Amino acid sequence: MSSPVTLACPLLPVDVWEKIIDCISLQRLPNKTLAACARTCRSWSLRSRYHLYQVATIRGENQLYSFHKALIAHPENADFVRELTVVWHQDWDNSTLQNIFSFPLLLARRLPHLQRVTIYSSLEQPPPVLSTCHFVALRELKLVSSLLLNAVQFRTKADFYHFITSFPSLSVLECYNVIWARTGSHSCSTRPGGHDVRLPLNSLCAEELTLSCLQLLLQDTSPSLQHLKIECTDLWSSSSDSNQLPRASGTPAALPATSSPIPLLHFTRLRTFDLYVPLDVSDPSILIAILSEIQSGDISKLTLQLSGEHIGVDSITNLALLNDALDDLLSSNRFARLQDLNFIFHFDEAAKDCDRYRDKIVTKLPKSAAHHRENLTVKADTR
């Protein structure tokens, strides 16, 4: 980028212009608008470049090398880069793919403040397959603590694990529509040499995963996990096969009538739990089984995302999840430290008359509503 020219800007305080530039960034206007601001005058340059370079997006080899050259020419801009996004193109051949995933070798030492890496592809086509040759250089990203994967496929669960553990400082993982083609012969938590090491995550968001992938991911995540968000439609299947998950050693024998389809017992430090719940689920006891798995006494925030195509506020069938068993559980000592109990309805009816749905929560869960009176939130979000 060329150096900013010195022009006489309108006489307003610099902080006012900076807020205007912030608004331009929030409006997601084309980058050329911010680039023009950066060239206008020196007082606008710093804030404009901050927004221009905060997220660097790589869509091909030429763009990768151009970005690399730009950092060499203007190394001061590297300080602004916090996130690097790789947008996968379906027409990339294996050679292109390997060149793209060499980006850590080119950029790691030039991006001292890089915190987050995002890799995603279009959901309109089959997800691309990542193999071990594509991420041998990721260990160079020593300070990256957050990773987002969207619409990506791995050959095996072991490949997935080795990809995740390639980031030495990773603590936050978001997975959307991530799958592996086959199970493979090794556990995700087994490194070469036979050493058993769980994924050392502080926060995990898993959405649009198959139930089997979700189960394995949770099993292989460290007990130190504090924040968990799950959206998995397969989770609510009434099939007995989905509920036959092997129990960890030392697990209490006494279980709910319906076993939880996901393993949560070992997350003894869990603080927040966000769960997507379809209101037309055929077996309401699955929700009780899942929440009963939570053993952490430190849960401070519980969010239930209640979704459906068309749910009437007086529907008995669709609101069967809001029953006495759930009321007893949420008002028990297990959730004594809750500071936020959130019910979010995702359909148009609730958005039109959210107060009626709040009243329905209070009516159907009276003990929970009374116990968490100051901390109960009912919202509508049509998303």
Q: Is residue 252 part of a domain?
A: no
Q: Is residue 247 part of a domain?
A: no
**Residue reference for tokens 């009437």:** 312
Instruction: Read off the DSSP letter of residue 86.
Output: E
Query: In this predicted model, what pLDDT tens digit does every residue of 233-261 receive, in sequence order?
Result: 888 875 434 444 444 434 433 444 578 89
| One-letter amino acid for residue 320 of the chain | A
Quick one: 181 and 64 in the same domain? yes
Q: Is residue 122 part of a domain?
A: yes
Predicted confidence band of residue 105 (pLDDT cuts 50, 70, 90): confident
Q: What is the CA radius of gyration of the chain?
A: 24
Query: In this predicted model, what pLDDT tens digit does every residue of 147-206 receive, in sequence order?
Result: 999 988 888 888 888 888 888 899 999 999 888 876 554 444 444 444 456 888 999 999
Provide the pLDDT for residue 358: 87
Provide the pLDDT for residue 356: 83
Answer with the one of 30, 52, 74 that is the final residue of a domain: 52
Provide the pLDDT for residue 153: 84
Query: In this predicted model, what pLDDT tens digit does every residue of 116-149 receive, in sequence order?
Result: 999 888 666 666 677 776 677 788 888 999 999 9
Quick one: 43 and 59 in the same domain? no
Provide the pLDDT for residue 350: 67
Quick one: 190 and 76 in the same domain? yes
Quick one: 194 and 270 in the same domain? no
Name the residue among 257, 264, 262, 303 with its Cα closest to residue 284: 257
Provide the pLDDT for residue 294: 93
**Residue reference for tokens 């359909």:** 347
Helix (H, G, I), strand (E, B) or coil at 10: coil
- Cα of first residue to Cα of last residue in the chain, in angstroms, is 38
Quick one: 30 and 60 in the same domain? no
Rounded mean pLDDT of the chain? 79
Quick one: 46 and 166 in the same domain? no
Quick one: 65 and 95 in the same domain? yes
Dihedral over Cα of 185, 188, 194, 196: its sign: negative
Quick one: 39 and 110 in the same domain? no
The rounded distance, in Å, linking the Cα atoms of 229 and 203 is 8
* Three-point CA angle 169, 162, 159, nearest 5°: 150
270 pLDDT above the threshold of 90: yes
Residue 94's CATH number: 3.80.10
Phi, psi for 300 (deg, rounded to 5): -110, -15
Q: Is residue 302 part of a domain?
A: yes
The rounded distance, in Å, linking the Cα atoms of 128 and 213 is 17
CA atoms within 13 A on the CB side of 109: 3
* Three-point CA angle 254, 260, 262, nearest 5°: 130
Residue range of the domain that includes 151: 54-222
Query: In this predicted model, what pLDDT tens digit does every residue of 11-67 receive, in sequence order?
Result: 766 666 666 666 765 666 556 666 666 667 766 766 667 767 788 888 888 888 888
Quick one: 25 and 61 in the same domain? no
Q: Is residue 364 part of a domain?
A: yes
Quick one: 71 and 186 in the same domain? yes
| One-letter amino acid for residue 212 of the chain | S
- Number of domains making up the chain: 3
Q: Is residue 249 part of a domain?
A: no
For residue 89 the two structure tokens come to 């193109």
Quick one: 269 and 124 in the same domain? no
Query: In this predicted model, what pLDDT tens digit does every residue of 7-27 receive, in sequence order?
Result: 455 576 666 666 666 676 566
Predicted confidence band of residue 6 (pLDDT cuts 50, 70, 90): very low
Q: Is residue 44 part of a domain?
A: yes
| One-letter amino acid for residue 313 of the chain | V
The rounded distance, in Å, linking the Cα atoms of 35 and 138 is 30
Query: In this predicted model, what pLDDT tens digit does every residue of 306-343 receive, in sequence order?
Result: 887 655 555 545 678 889 999 999 999 999 899 999 99
The rounded distance, in Å, linking the Cα atoms of 225 and 228 is 7
Quick one: 293 and 201 in the same domain? no
Neighbours of 32 (CB within 10 A): 9
Q: Is residue 248 part of a domain?
A: no
